[in-house]
Amino acid sequence: MAQLPETPSLAERCPLPWSVRMALCLYAVSHRELFRPENGLFRRERYLLPFLEETEDRTVDQLTAEDLRYFLDSRRSRRPRGGPIRASTRQEYVRVLKPFFGWLHTEGYIDTNPMQGIS
Protein backbone atom coordinates (compact mmCIF):
# COMPACT_ATOMS: atom_id res chain seq x y z
CA MET A 1 0.00 0.00 0.00
CA ALA A 2 1.38 3.41 -0.98
CA GLN A 3 2.19 5.73 1.87
CA LEU A 4 0.65 9.20 1.73
CA PRO A 5 3.08 12.11 1.87
CA GLU A 6 3.27 13.83 5.23
CA THR A 7 1.29 17.05 5.41
CA PRO A 8 3.57 20.01 6.13
CA SER A 9 2.91 21.88 9.34
CA LEU A 10 1.33 25.31 9.35
CA ALA A 11 4.71 26.89 10.15
CA GLU A 12 6.26 25.03 7.19
CA ARG A 13 3.52 26.18 4.82
CA CYS A 14 3.53 29.76 6.14
CA PRO A 15 7.07 30.50 7.34
CA LEU A 16 7.55 32.39 10.59
CA PRO A 17 7.68 35.16 11.76
CA TRP A 18 4.05 35.96 11.07
CA SER A 19 2.59 39.40 10.83
CA VAL A 20 -0.30 40.04 13.19
CA ARG A 21 -2.62 39.98 10.15
CA MET A 22 -1.33 36.57 9.00
CA ALA A 23 -1.55 35.12 12.52
CA LEU A 24 -5.13 36.35 12.98
CA CYS A 25 -6.13 34.85 9.62
CA LEU A 26 -4.56 31.49 10.49
CA TYR A 27 -6.17 31.57 13.94
CA ALA A 28 -9.58 32.23 12.38
CA VAL A 29 -9.10 29.36 9.90
CA SER A 30 -8.00 26.92 12.59
CA HIS A 31 -10.86 28.00 14.89
CA ARG A 32 -13.66 28.26 12.34
CA GLU A 33 -16.33 27.39 14.89
CA LEU A 34 -15.48 30.53 16.91
CA PHE A 35 -15.83 32.76 13.89
CA ARG A 36 -19.36 31.85 12.88
CA PRO A 37 -21.98 34.58 13.29
CA GLU A 38 -23.92 32.49 15.81
CA ASN A 39 -20.75 32.06 17.92
CA GLY A 40 -19.79 35.70 18.29
CA LEU A 41 -18.02 36.53 15.02
CA PHE A 42 -19.10 40.16 15.17
CA ARG A 43 -18.06 40.54 18.81
CA ARG A 44 -14.64 39.15 17.99
CA GLU A 45 -14.29 41.38 14.92
CA ARG A 46 -15.20 44.44 16.97
CA TYR A 47 -12.22 43.83 19.26
CA LEU A 48 -9.75 42.23 16.86
CA LEU A 49 -9.92 44.88 14.12
CA PRO A 50 -8.68 47.79 16.30
CA PHE A 51 -5.91 45.50 17.57
CA LEU A 52 -4.94 44.64 14.00
CA GLU A 53 -4.94 48.29 12.94
CA GLU A 54 -2.68 49.23 15.84
CA THR A 55 -0.21 46.34 15.44
CA GLU A 56 -0.29 45.73 11.68
CA ASP A 57 3.37 46.65 11.14
CA ARG A 58 4.59 44.14 13.76
CA THR A 59 5.12 40.41 13.85
CA VAL A 60 3.51 38.39 16.64
CA ASP A 61 6.86 37.42 18.13
CA GLN A 62 7.70 41.13 18.59
CA LEU A 63 4.68 41.89 20.78
CA THR A 64 5.31 42.06 24.51
CA ALA A 65 3.06 42.23 27.55
CA GLU A 66 3.99 45.92 27.78
CA ASP A 67 2.78 46.48 24.18
CA LEU A 68 -0.52 44.77 24.94
CA ARG A 69 -1.05 46.69 28.18
CA TYR A 70 -0.37 49.92 26.29
CA PHE A 71 -2.87 48.91 23.60
CA LEU A 72 -5.53 48.11 26.21
CA ASP A 73 -4.87 51.23 28.26
CA SER A 74 -4.85 53.55 25.24
CA ARG A 75 -8.31 52.55 23.96
CA ARG A 76 -10.64 55.54 23.92
CA SER A 77 -14.39 55.56 24.28
CA ARG A 78 -16.52 56.32 21.24
CA ARG A 79 -18.67 58.55 23.43
CA PRO A 80 -18.54 62.32 22.86
CA ARG A 81 -16.17 62.91 25.76
CA GLY A 82 -13.85 60.21 24.45
CA GLY A 83 -12.40 59.19 27.81
CA PRO A 84 -10.90 55.81 28.60
CA ILE A 85 -12.99 52.76 27.80
CA ARG A 86 -15.03 51.14 30.55
CA ALA A 87 -13.53 48.29 32.54
CA SER A 88 -16.08 45.92 30.98
CA THR A 89 -14.96 46.92 27.47
CA ARG A 90 -11.32 46.38 28.40
CA GLN A 91 -12.29 42.93 29.71
CA GLU A 92 -13.87 42.10 26.35
CA TYR A 93 -10.60 42.96 24.60
CA VAL A 94 -8.78 40.67 27.04
CA ARG A 95 -11.36 37.87 26.52
CA VAL A 96 -10.82 38.02 22.76
CA LEU A 97 -7.02 38.46 22.73
CA LYS A 98 -6.12 35.88 25.39
CA PRO A 99 -7.19 32.80 23.39
CA PHE A 100 -5.42 34.13 20.27
CA PHE A 101 -2.09 34.51 22.07
CA GLY A 102 -2.69 31.28 23.99
CA TRP A 103 -3.06 29.45 20.67
CA LEU A 104 0.13 31.02 19.29
CA HIS A 105 2.03 29.98 22.41
CA THR A 106 0.56 26.47 22.72
CA GLU A 107 1.32 25.73 19.08
CA GLY A 108 4.89 26.99 19.50
CA TYR A 109 4.61 29.99 17.17
CA ILE A 110 5.73 32.37 19.95
CA ASP A 111 8.04 31.58 22.86
CA THR A 112 6.09 33.38 25.57
CA ASN A 113 2.45 34.37 25.88
CA PRO A 114 2.39 38.15 26.35
CA MET A 115 -1.25 38.03 27.51
CA GLN A 116 -0.40 35.80 30.47
CA GLY A 117 -0.91 37.81 33.61
CA ILE A 118 -3.00 40.49 31.87
CA SER A 119 -6.55 40.75 33.12
| Furthest-apart CA atoms within the chain: distance in Å | 70
Going from the C-alpha of 19 to that of each of 11, 52, 87, the distances in angstroms are 13, 10, 28
84 three-state secondary structure:
strand
**Mean pLDDT, range 91-97, rounded to an integer:** 93
State how far the Cα of 90 lies from the Cα of 46, in Å rounded to an integer. Answer: 12
More confident residue, 34 or 58: 58
Confidence class for position 16, pLDDT limits 50, 70, 90: confident
- pLDDT at 107 > cutoff 80: yes
Query: pTM above the 0.85 mark?
Result: no
Out of 57-66, 72-81, 84-93, least confident range: 72-81
> What pLDDT score does 26 carry?
86
Going from the C-alpha of 118 to that of each of 85, 92, 98, the distances in angstroms are 16, 12, 9
Confidence class for position 69, pLDDT limits 50, 70, 90: very high
